[in-house]
Amino acid sequence: MPLGDSNTRGKDWDPAGYRDNLWNQLKSSGFDVDFVGSQKEGPSTIDRDHEGHGGWRIDEIANNVDSWLTSYQPDVIMLMIGTNDVLQDYQLSTAIDRLNNLIDKIVAKVPNAYLLVGSIPPIDRPLDQQQVLEYNAQIPGLVSSKASQGKKVKFVDIFKELTFSDLSSDDIHPTASGYAKIADVWYDALLPLPVLSNPSPSPSPSPSPTPNVIRLEAEAMQLTNYVIESNQSPASGSKIISLYQGGGTTGSATGTFNGPTGTYNVVVGYFDETDGKSQLTVKVGGVTDTWTFDKWLTDSWVTSKTKATRTVAQGVTLQAGSTIQLSGVADGGEWARVDYIDFIPVSSSPSPSPTPAPTPT
């Protein structure tokens, strides 16, 4: 149950807020999940159910939460609330007490559920931001005291992953990329929970190729300026290479083909984000292909929405030891992120099948 205010519900520029990104991450990782709640917003491609109520304070959530919990019996509650208490300057000296009462109410109603309590995002207004800091600073201690009592309550630090640049023009609500960051934090908090410990079969977020396809993971290549980014759940093996913090805006990666001699189509998996136009050049089998990451696939982050592929060569002859070279150029906030290279057989010379014995007459 996603539970909170408009930062859970979403805004006009991102009607599902963080929920669409989180849903896609969970599903692409193979988890069989069901979002629950009385509200419905977001694209038809996700589970749209939630309990995000725009403009609501802590006390207003508390006044209604019993009926929601009774109706939907969630296994996990993701609670992020308090922004409107700050914006309305509503009895802020006792805001943490109201949060304490809300937590107790939830735990009493569904004692076997896991309650994740998130800090609230920043607000780009000096007085409000100071109040956000003061409120957030009290949450970890409160949650820790509940956990020490044996309650299934865990603190999730949303605030630390966001900056003012992640906020929209209203200075309050996150941008689409800001919501994507929030989804990543929730996802990391959910993974250790026992209710998510057994994903569905074949949970690879980036499906492994068929047995005849040979995959070279980008992180296994020899890197110059490129660095490996781990814990990127939408990627094959949860790792990619990126020029972010790699020591420059250009970099290269070199690898070798280790399959049998044959003719192959070569496909590159990468991430095409909305915050730049990076470039990649691939050299393989005597073919050179250069393109710009300009698909603008919804998010400015590594998500299931920004995954893309490109066929860089068709019908090239490769043998064991053939060299593959990538050269990336970052632009803006897009860091020429590469996931893998697939070699798809077109034709080869398989060992002849034994001649079957003649049928007796």
Give the closest residue to 57 by CA, choosing from 83, 31, 30. Answer: 83
174 and 275, same structural domain? no
184 and 225, same structural domain? no
pLDDT on residue 211: 52
Do the Cβ atoms of 268 and 341 come closer than 8 Å? Answer: yes
Rounded mean pLDDT of the chain?
89
Give the closest residue to 50 by CA, choosing from 83, 84, 88, 22. Answer: 22
Do the Cβ atoms of 158 and 182 come closer than 8 Å? Answer: yes
Please give the Cα distance from 80 to 114 (Å, whole number): 14
Q: How many CA atoms lie within 13 A of 70 on its CB side?
A: 5
Q: Considering 166, 196, 226, which residue would you say is the last residue of a domain?
A: 196
243 and 95, same structural domain? no
pLDDT on residue 279: 96
50-102 pLDDT tens trace: 999 999 999 999 999 999 999 999 999 999 999 999 999 999 999 999 999 99
Residue 146, domain CATH:
3.40.50.1110
54 and 17, same structural domain? yes
pLDDT on residue 234: 86
Tokens for 169, please give them. Answer: 């023009």
| Boundaries of domain holding 272 | 214-344
Q: Is 360 within the bounds of a domain?
A: no
pLDDT on residue 197: 53
Listing DSSP states for 336-353 in one string gives: --EEEEEEEEEE--PPPP
Containing 50, the helix (H) or strand (E) segment is strand 49-52
Do the Cβ atoms of 178 and 162 come closer than 8 Å? Answer: yes
Residue 322, domain CATH:
2.60.120.260
| Separation in Å, CA 242 to CA 4, 19, 193, 279 | 34, 26, 29, 12
Q: Is 358 within the bounds of a domain?
A: no
pLDDT on residue 287: 94
Spell out the long-range contacts of 139-142 with Cβ–Cβ below 8 A and sequence spacing 24 or more: 139/96, 139/99, 142/96, 142/99, 142/100, 142/103, 142/117
Please identify which residue in the block is written with the tokens 């070569």.
266
pLDDT on residue 297: 78
Please give the Cα distance from 213 to 215 (Å, whole number): 6
Do the Cβ atoms of 334 and 299 come closer than 8 Å? Answer: no
What is the domain count for the chain? 2
Q: Is 351 within the bounds of a domain?
A: no
Listing DSSP states for 84-121 in one string gives: HHHHTT-SGGGHHHHHHHHHHHHHHHSTTSEEEEEPPP
For the chain, count helices (H), then strands (E). Answer: 7, 17
179 and 283, same structural domain? no
pLDDT on residue 353: 41
190-227 pLDDT tens trace: 988 888 755 544 434 445 444 578 999 999 999 999 99
Q: Is 359 within the bounds of a domain?
A: no
Please identify which residue in the block is written with the tokens 């632009």.
331
pLDDT on residue 351: 40
305-327 pLDDT tens trace: 888 889 999 899 999 999 999 99
Instruction: Write down the H helix ranges in 125-279.
Output: 126-148, 176-190
Q: Is 356 within the bounds of a domain?
A: no
| Separation in Å, CA 351 to CA 209, 264, 354 | 22, 18, 9
Please give the Cα distance from 190 to 358 (Å, whole number): 61
Q: Is 206 within the bounds of a domain?
A: no
User: Where is pLDDT greater, at 349 or 129?
Assistant: 129
Chain-centroid distance, C-alpha 333: 17
Q: Considering 196, 229, 262, which residue would you say is the last residue of a domain?
A: 196
pLDDT on residue 327: 97
pLDDT on residue 199: 53
Arithmetic mean of pLDDT, 333-338? 92
Please give the Cα distance from 322 to 309 (Å, whole number): 22
37 and 123, same structural domain? yes
